[in-house]
Amino acid sequence: MTEVKLYDTTLRDGAGREGISFSVTDKLHIVQRLDDLGVHFIEGGWPGSNPKDADFFDKARKLTLTNSVLGAFGSTRHAKAKAETDANLQALVNAGVKLVTIVGKSSALQVTEVLETTLDENLSMVADSIQYLKSKGLAVFFDAEHFFDGFKTDPNYTLRVLTVAAEAGTDCLVLCDTNGGALPNEITVAIKAARKTTSLPLSIHTHNDGGLAIANTIAAVTAGVDQVQGTINGYGERCGNADLCTLIPTLKLKMGIDCVTDEQLAKLTEVAHYISETANLAPDTFLPYVGTSAFTHKFGLHVSGLKKWTDAYQHIDPNRVGNQMKVLISELSGKGNVLYKARERGLDLPQQGKEVQKLLEQIKLLESQGFHYDNAEASFDLLVYRAKPDYQPPFELVDFMVVVEKRRRPPTQKSLEEMLSEATVKVKIGTEIIHTVAEGNGPVNALDQALRKALLQFYPSLSQVNLVDYKVRILEESVGTGSQIRVIIESSDGVEEWRTVGSSTNIIEASWLALADSLEYWLLKQKRQGNTL
Ligand SMILES: [Zn+2]
Position 469 scores a pLDDT of 84
Buried b or exposed e, range 224-261, using 16+ CB within 10 angstroms: ebbbbbbbbbbbbbeebbbbbbbbbbbbbbebebebbe
Residue 418 CA to ligand 1 center (angstroms) comes to 55
Position 349 scores a pLDDT of 82
Summarised one tens digit per residue, pLDDT across range 301-359 is: 888 787 777 788 899 999 999 998 888 777 777 788 888 888 888 888 887 778 888 88
Contact status, residue 429 vs residue 395, Cβ threshold 8 Å: yes
Alpha-carbon distance of 98 to 121, in angstroms, equals 27
Position 328 scores a pLDDT of 79
Alpha-carbon distance of 248 to 329, in angstroms, equals 31
Summarised one tens digit per residue, pLDDT across range 486-502 is: 999 999 999 998 999 99
Residue 204 CA to ligand 1 center (angstroms) comes to 10
Residue 289 CA to ligand 1 center (angstroms) comes to 23
Structure letter (DSSP) for residue 241: B
Residue 9 CA to ligand 1 center (angstroms) comes to 8
Position 82 scores a pLDDT of 94
> Which residues of the chain are modeled with pLDDT < 50?
none
Cα 245 off chain centre by = 10
Residue 266 CA to ligand 1 center (angstroms) comes to 27
Residue 8 CA to ligand 1 center (angstroms) comes to 11
